[in-house]
């Protein structure tokens, strides 16, 4: 007769083999996600390195402000055109080749930027960089949603939030330090070995974890999406700036983009029935996805608007240096990133509402406080406000990313990721345009009344922040309609 003690010590080869297979799969999944996190950190860091470099480039390349602005505009346009196509790419290609493609493009663009002899070549380099960057974020989000178990998705998305928070936060600080001592080419020269290292490591260690399937691409949809999202982003990027001779004003670009977008939507709805849509709009059949994406876009408008106005205020009103500005904004960005995994863990335990509600109230409260900024506002107050706002954003983005993609069918993860990425670009451009346009218009109006320049600029900046504060009220209302997905989409 076999005793109970003997039963517990009996070795079951089949069970041991199954446990080993599960552990091996988990280790493989962690490796893939970690490689994608490192690569995404590098490409997102590159986005904000240019934030404080434009004046130096104007001087070194002997170009106008309007010309050098194309380094930013071309990057945004490329992102807005390429991201919608990533939904198709992620269906047709496996993880490893699409990773190698993205990092090869980014590394090539970075190398070209290092040796660029003039502005046109530098703009081309930024376009190539943006092509790789546009692929990485949807690839990371789709892969994370595919591999992470539903009960730990919040924590996984928290690490993604860390990457997309810390990289932009330290970008201006790094570029400010570089430009204080070195040539602008070092901004790209220092990134190049990191991107090449990520490429080589990914080529050697990245594994295929998805199953590609046949999907045709509709050429007309690609053209329509390029004109739609490209027109809208370009129009938003130029609101408040006078149109160059022989070119359309910003409003006309936005209107044209909206028309192409309407045609694009009609085209996608038809392809959902008879073919393969470029962006599958059935993701919006989930009410939770729609509300979460709208809330995310609203917060992105506020975030990007704040990112552009706060440095202007610190440098042109409070007379801080570029490096001082970067250092002042660094703690908030780092804190937002460090809180990401913790917020994700709390999401897995508590759901979205205990995080989203205080998060949106904090952001809204700080935005309303920024409408009181002036030339005499103490710098420590600005630092404290930025840190508190960063905590609010940390409470928002991880739950919103997780809720939105968890609310759609797994077969639509790639399309959902592409839609989120596209709307992020459009919302960011819209936020920058609205904040800057209101700032410029208000500052000009106050200057014509005889107000001193700094006072007028300060009043304009308050008007821009007022726009963000009003937008945040809509977000406060919207957040109460978000629900936790009751079970994994299947």
pLDDT tens digits, one per residue of 14-58: 555 555 555 666 666 777 777 888 888 888 877 777 766 777 787
If asked whether residues 105 and 253 sit together in one domain, one would say: no
Which of 165, 196, 214 is where one domain is finished? 214
pLDDT value at position 4? 44
Mean pLDDT value across residues 70-89: 78
Please say if the pLDDT value at position 242 is more than 80: no
Specify if 317 maps to a domain: yes
Of the candidates 230, 211, 214, 300, which has an alpha carbon nearest to the alpha carbon of residue 84?
230
If asked whether residues 328 and 403 sit together in one domain, one would say: yes
Specify if 68 maps to a domain: yes
If asked whether residues 291 and 150 sit together in one domain, one would say: no
* pLDDT band, very low/low/confident/very high, at 214 (cuts 50, 70, 90): low
If asked whether residues 189 and 321 sit together in one domain, one would say: no
For residue 423 the two structure tokens come to 């709307």
If asked whether residues 323 and 463 sit together in one domain, one would say: yes
As a residue count, the chain comes to: 490
Question: What's the number of CA atoms in the CB half-sphere (13 Å) around residue 390?
Answer: 27
If asked whether residues 405 and 290 sit together in one domain, one would say: yes
Please say if the pLDDT value at position 124 is more than 90: yes
Distance CA(431)–CA(417), nearest Å, equals: 21
Structural domains counted in the chain? 3
Poorest-pLDDT segment among 7-11, 195-199, 253-257: 7-11
Mean pLDDT value across residues 163-191: 79
% pLDDT > 70, the chain:
86
Please say if the pLDDT value at position 368 is more than 60: yes
pLDDT value at position 437? 79
Specify if 252 maps to a domain: yes
pLDDT value at position 452? 86
* pLDDT band, very low/low/confident/very high, at 439 (cuts 50, 70, 90): confident
Question: Is residue 347 within 8 Å of residue 176, measured between CB atoms?
Answer: no
pLDDT value at position 3? 47
Specify if 9 maps to a domain: no
If asked whether residues 88 and 178 sit together in one domain, one would say: yes
Distance CA(121)–CA(131), nearest Å, equals: 15
Q: What is the mean pLDDT of the chain?
A: 81
Specify if 6 maps to a domain: no
pLDDT value at position 259? 93
If asked whether residues 287 and 166 sit together in one domain, one would say: no
Parent domain of 432: 281-490
Specify if 1 maps to a domain: no
pLDDT value at position 362? 94
If asked whether residues 209 and 247 sit together in one domain, one would say: no
- In this structure, what CATH number is given to the domain that contains residue 157? 1.20.1250.20
Residues with Cβ within 8 Å of 246's Cβ and at least 6 positions away in sequence, in order, are none
Residue scoring higher pLDDT (383 or 320): 383
pLDDT value at position 403? 87
């Amino acid at each position: 007769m076999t005793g109970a003690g003997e039963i517990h010590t009996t070795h079951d080869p089949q069970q041991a083999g199954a446990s080993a297979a599960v552990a091996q799969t988990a280790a493989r999944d962690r490796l893939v996600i970690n490689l994608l996190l490192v690569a995404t950190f590098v490409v997102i860091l590159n986005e904000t390195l240019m934030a404080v470099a434009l004046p130096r480039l104007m001087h070194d390349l002997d170009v106008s402000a309007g010309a050098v602005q194309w380094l930013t505009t071309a990057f945004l346009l490329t992102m807005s055109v390429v991201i919608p196509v990533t939904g198709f790419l992620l269906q047709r290609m496996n993880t490893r080749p699409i990773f190698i493609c993205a990092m090869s493009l980014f590394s090539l663009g970075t190398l070209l930027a290092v040796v660029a002899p003039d502005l046109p070549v530098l703009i081309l380099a930024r376009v190539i960089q943006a092509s790789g960057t546009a692929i990485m974020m949807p690839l990371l989000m789709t892969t994370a949603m595919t591999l992470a178990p539903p009960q730990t998705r919040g924590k996984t998305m928290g690490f993604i939030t860390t990457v997309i928070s810390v990289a932009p936060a330290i970008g201006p600080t790094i570029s400010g330090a570089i430009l204080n001592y070195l040539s602008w080419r070092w901004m790209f020269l220092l990134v190049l070995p990191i991107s090449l290292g990520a490429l080589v490591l990914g080529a050697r260690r990245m594994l295929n974890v998805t199953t590609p399937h046949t999907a045709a691409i509709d050429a007309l949809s690609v053209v329509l999406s390029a004109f739609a999202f490209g027109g809208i982003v370009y129009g938003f990027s130029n609101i408040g700036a006078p149109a160059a001779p022989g070119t359309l004003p910003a409003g006309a670009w936005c209107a044209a983009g909206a028309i192409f977008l309407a045609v694009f939507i009609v085209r996608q709805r038809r392809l959902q029935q008879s073919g393969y849509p470029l962006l599958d709009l059935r993701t919006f059949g989930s009410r939770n996805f729609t509300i979460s994406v709208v809330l995310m876009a609203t917060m992105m408008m506020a975030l990007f608007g704040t990112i552009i106005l706060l440095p202007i205020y610190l440098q042109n009103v409070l007379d801080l240096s570029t490096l001082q500005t970067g250092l002042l904004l660094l703690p908030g960005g780092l804190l937002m990133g460090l809180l990401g995994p913790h917020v994700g863990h709390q999401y897995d335990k508590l759901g979205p509402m205990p995080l989203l509600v205080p998060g949106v109230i904090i952001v809204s409260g700080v935005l309303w406080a920024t409408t009181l900024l002036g030339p005499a506002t103490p710098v420590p107050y600005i630092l404290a406000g930025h840190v508190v706002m960063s905590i609010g954003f940390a409470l928002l983005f991880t739950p919103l990313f997780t809720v939105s993609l968890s609310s759609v069918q797994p077969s639509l993860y790639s399309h959902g990721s592409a839609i989120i990425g596209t709307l992020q670009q459009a919302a960011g451009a819209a936020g920058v345009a609205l904040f800057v346009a209101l700032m410029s218009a208000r500052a000009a109006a106050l200057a014509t009344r005889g107000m001193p320049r700094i006072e007028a600029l300060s009043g304009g900046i308050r008007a821009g922040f007022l726009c963000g504060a009003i937008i945040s009220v809509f977000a406060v209302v919207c957040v109460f309609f978000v629900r936790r997905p009751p079970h994994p989409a299947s």
